[in-house]
Amino acid sequence: MKNRNKVVIPMLLLGSSFILGGCSSSSSSGGGTPPPPTTVNVAGSVSAPGGSVAFYNPSITERIFAMFVGAPAYAAISGVLDVGAGVTVNLIEVDAAGAQVGAVIATATTTAGGAYSLDAPEGFTPGPQYVIRAEGGGGAAIEARVTSTSVNVDPISEAASNVVTSTASDLGTLTNDEVDAIQNAVDDVSQDINPAGQGVDALAASLQTEAASNEESSNVINSTVTSGTICGTVTDSAAAGIANVDIAVSDFGNWVTRARTKTAADGTYCLNVPVQGDSDPDTGGTFSGEYILGAFNRTDDSNDSGLHASEWWSTGGTAYNKFDAEMIMVANTTTVTKDLQLEPGARITGSVTADGTGASLEGVKVVIRDFDNRTPVASARVKADGSYRVNVIPGKYLVVARNKTIQPYASEIYDGGTGTNNRNLGAPVTVATGGATTLDFVLEAGYMLNGSITDGGTAVTGMRVMVNSNSPGGPAERVRTNKQGNYRIWLRPATYRVYAYGQRNLSVDLTTSDQTLDFSATVNAISATLQDSGGSPVSQTKFRLYDTANNYLGFEVSSSDGTVTMYTDQTGDHRVQIRIDRAASAGSSIYDGQTQLANATLVNTAGGDVALGVITLPDGGVLTGTVYAGSSGDTSTPIGNFSVEVRDGGTAGANRFTRVKTRGDGSYVLTLPAGTYERVKMRDATGNGNCDSITVIASATTTVNYFDGDNTCVVTP
C-alpha cells in the first residue's frame, strides 16, 4: 500500500509568490501590480469501482445507487463509474517507493461528471515523479502518473503507478514514454480479468498480477529499466516524420514483443531492451540481444493523410511481415539507430461488437494476415468504443478477430458473411493504395478452450498452441502460453484438433461447453537452417513434422535468417517436410533431398534434441491455380479448403510429396523443385480428380486450374 498521507494545507512557495488552495497571492514593489504567474493546467476524470460511493468494495445497495448517480465513464472494466462531484484530487510529487515528497502542488475537486481541473505552478513539467491522487471514502485513494497535462485516474492508472513503484528504483531514469508504455501494457490486459466484487486496491492488484503473467505485457514493463537502447525516426514517403506510430521490438526467432513505444511529433522514437548477456529471469539464462523492429501505423487521417503502411525494419526496407524482418543486434549499451521510411498504403478499419447486445468488445485483437501464406502482417486491438484501425501495404489479406479476453465471444475469420472458424474459408480482402476498407465483426457467443503446457513439471512460456477445425478441417487459430504456461482462446461451437509443443489432441469438443486441455510431457527439439542454392536464407517456410505412420505433429515457420525449431514428445523416428506455400525461388523438399514423404531420411530423437544444420533447398518453380465447383469454363464458384496433393515417382498415394489446401477464393500456391510430377491429386469429399504429368520449371509459373463439376484440369503453359 502506498503512503496515502494527506497534507492539509496545500502550499508551494515560488520566490515571493505562493499558491494556496488553488489561488495565488503575491507581494509587489514599485508602482504597478505584477501580472499573475502563468499556470499549467492539468485536467482529466476520475473513475473507480462503485463510482461516487466509494473506492473500496461496495455493497449491493451501494452498487445500485452508484448506477443512478454516475454514467459509465470508463468502458474498459465493468462496474467502474465516474466518481461524481466532490472528490478531492491532489497533484503531488512521490519518491521511488510511492511516498509523498513535500507539500501538495495543486488541488481540485471533481465535478458532477467526475472531471477535475487544477492549475500547477508556472514551469511545471509532467514526469514520472508526479501523480494525480484522488481521495475516496473510507480512506481509500487512487492515482495516476502525470506524463502529460491530460490525466485520467482509474484502476488501470492505479495499477500502472504501482508497477512503476515496483519496477523503477530511480524515477529520474524513467521517461514519460516509458511510463506510458507501462500504462498501455496494463491497459492491454484489462479485459483479461474478472472485476466482479473488487474495490480499487483489489482490482489494481489483479491488473498487476495479470500484467506480470502476460508474456508481452511483462516484457514491456521489465524492458523500461533495461540498458539497451534502440532509437530512430519513422518518416513517410516524403521523408516527413510521422507522429504516434506504434513501435514494437520483438525477440528474433520467437517473435514475442519485448518493448513498445510511440513516435514523437517529429517521428522520432527511443526504447529500451535487454543487452546481449543480460540475465533473463524467465529462463534462468541470458538474453541473446537479437531483435526485430516493427512500425505499426494505426493513426487517423489527421495524423497521416497519406495512409502510410505498417512495416518491419530491414536494410532493404521491404519487410512487410515479421518472418522477413531483419535481425537487430543490441550487444552493449551503445544506442542502435534504426530508421524506417513507410510506403503509401491502405487502411483496414471497422468495429468488433457482441452479437445480440451490440456491446463493444474491447481488447479483442484484429489480425491482418497475408492471404496466400497466412503470415501475420499487422494487428490492432479493439478500443473501448469497439473500433479498430491499422494501415497496411496494398495487397490481399485474411482478416481475423481473435478473442483471448474473458468476454465469452468466439474468435472469427472474415468470410464476407457471418464469419467462419476455418482460415481456408476466409474471404480475401483486397486493398489499394490510398483506400480505406471497413470490416465490421459481430462475434457470436462461443466456448473457451484453455489449459497449460508443462515440460517435466516446469511451465512452458511463450509456446504456440495451434487449433484446427476438425470438420471440415483447416487452421482455426494460434495462441501463446503466458508466463505461467497457461493459454486461453474463445472459439465457435465445434470440434477441434489442438497441437502444442509436439503433442496433439485430435478431438476437443466445444459444441456445448468450455474445455480445459493441458499438455504435459518432456519434449525434444528438431532444428535446422534453411537456405537456397545460392546460400541465402529461406524465410516464411513451414517446417512440418510427421511420425513414421505419416501422422502430422505440427509445424513452425522459418525466420529471416532461415532458422527454425519444431518440438516433439516422441523419442523415435520422425519425418520432416519443408513446405513453401508461396511464390519463392527455392522449392519444397522432404528431408534429406527427397520428393516423397515415405522416403524421408528419418530423424531420431531418442538421444534428445537434434540439430540438422544447414539444409539447402533445390531451385523451385511455382505451381498455382484455382479450384472451381462448376464444369469446365465455369469460374463462378471457387471452392475453399480443397486439398491439392502433389505426387512424385508414381501416381499412388505412397508417392505423396506434399499437400496444400485452397484458400477462401479457391486459389492455392506451392513452390516445387523443377521437374515433371506424375500426379496432382484433387482430393475433394465426393470424388477424386487427377491432373497428371504436370511440369514445373525453375523460376517459372505453371497454372493448373481444376473444375470439380466434370473433373477437368486446365494447365497453363
Model confidence pLDDT, tens digit, residues 494-533: 999 999 998 999 999 999 999 999 999 899 999 999 999 9
Task: Quickly tell me which residue has 522432404 as its cell.
Answer: 590
- DSSP 8-state assignment for residue 202: H
Residue type for position 59 = S
Instruction: Answer yes or no: is pLDDT of 259 > 60.
Output: yes
Residue 43 to residues 110, 159, 175, Cα–Cα distance (Å): 10, 20, 21
Residues 537 and 560: beta-carbon distance below 8 Å: yes
Residue 716's DSSP bridge partners are 703
Q: Helix 215-223 vs helix 176-188: angle between axes, to the nearest 10 degrees?
A: 170
Question: By CB neighbour count within 10 A (0-12 exposed, 13-18 middle, 19+ buried), where does 19 fall?
Answer: buried
For a pLDDT cut of 90, what percent of the chain falls above it?
79
Instruction: Answer yes or no: is pLDDT of 220 > 80.
Output: yes
| pLDDT at res. 157 | 95
The sign of the torsion formed by the CA atoms of 88, 91, 92, 94 equals: positive
Task: Quickly tell me which residue has 522416403 as its cell.
Answer: 599
Q: How confident is the model at residue 394 (pLDDT cuts 50, 70, 90)?
A: very high
Query: Residue 44: which residues within 8 A CB-CB, separation 6 or more?
Result: 115, 116, 132, 144, 150, 151, 152, 153
Task: Quickly tell me which residue has 550487444 as its cell.
Answer: 331
| pLDDT at res. 36 | 65
What mean pLDDT, rounded, does the chain reach? Answer: 89
Q: How confident is the model at residue 546 (pLDDT cuts 50, 70, 90)?
A: very high
Residue 592 backbone phi and psi in degrees, to 5: -115, 100
Residue 517 backbone phi and psi in degrees, to 5: -130, 110
| pLDDT at res. 397 | 97
d(CA 164, CA 172): 12
Can you tell me the mean pLDDT for 647-673? 96
**Set of cell numbers at residue 703:** 497454372
| pLDDT at res. 428 | 96
Q: How confident is the model at residue 230 (pLDDT cuts 50, 70, 90)?
A: very high
| pLDDT at res. 76 | 52
* Pick from 140, 126, 119, 132: nearest CA to 89: 132
Can you tell me the mean pLDDT for 570-580? 95
* Pick from 497, 481, 396, 382: nearest CA to 440: 382
* Rg, Å, the chain Cα set: 29
Instruction: Answer yes or no: is pLDDT of 473 > 90.
Output: no
| pLDDT at res. 35 | 64
Can you tell me the mean pLDDT for 19-45? 60
Instruction: Answer yes or no: is pLDDT of 322 > 70.
Output: yes
- DSSP 8-state assignment for residue 214: S
What is the per-residue pLDDT across 201-210, written as a single tens digit (0 to 9) for each? 888 999 999 9
Can you tell me the mean pLDDT for 539-568? 93
State the first-to-last Cα distance of the chain, in angstroms, to the nearest integer. Answer: 74
d(CA 305, CA 345): 10
Residue 7: count of CB within 10 angstroms of its CB: 14
Instruction: Answer yes or no: is pLDDT of 689 > 80.
Output: yes
Instruction: Answer yes or no: is pLDDT of 148 > 60.
Output: yes
| pLDDT at res. 34 | 65
Can you tell me the mean pLDDT for 403-420? 96
Q: How confident is the model at residue 418 (pLDDT cuts 50, 70, 90)?
A: very high
Can you tell me the mean pLDDT for 577-583? 96
Can you tell me the mean pLDDT for 662-690? 93
Q: How confident is the model at residue 227 (pLDDT cuts 50, 70, 90)?
A: very high
Residue type for position 554 = G
Instruction: Answer yes or no: is pLDDT of 571 > 70.
Output: yes
**DSSP state string for 96-134:** TTS-EEEEEEEEEE--TTSEEEEEEPTT---EEEEEEEE
| pLDDT at res. 16 | 30
d(CA 382, CA 406): 14
| pLDDT at res. 685 | 67
Residue 680's DSSP bridge partners are 646, 691
**Which one has a higher pLDDT value, 190 or 29?**
190
Can you tell me the mean pLDDT for 459-468? 93
d(CA 279, CA 288): 10
- DSSP 8-state assignment for residue 565: E
Instruction: Answer yes or no: is pLDDT of 5 > 90.
Output: no
Instruction: Answer yes or no: is pLDDT of 82 > 90.
Output: no
Residues 236 and 225: beta-carbon distance below 8 Å: no
Residue 686 backbone phi and psi in degrees, to 5: -105, -15
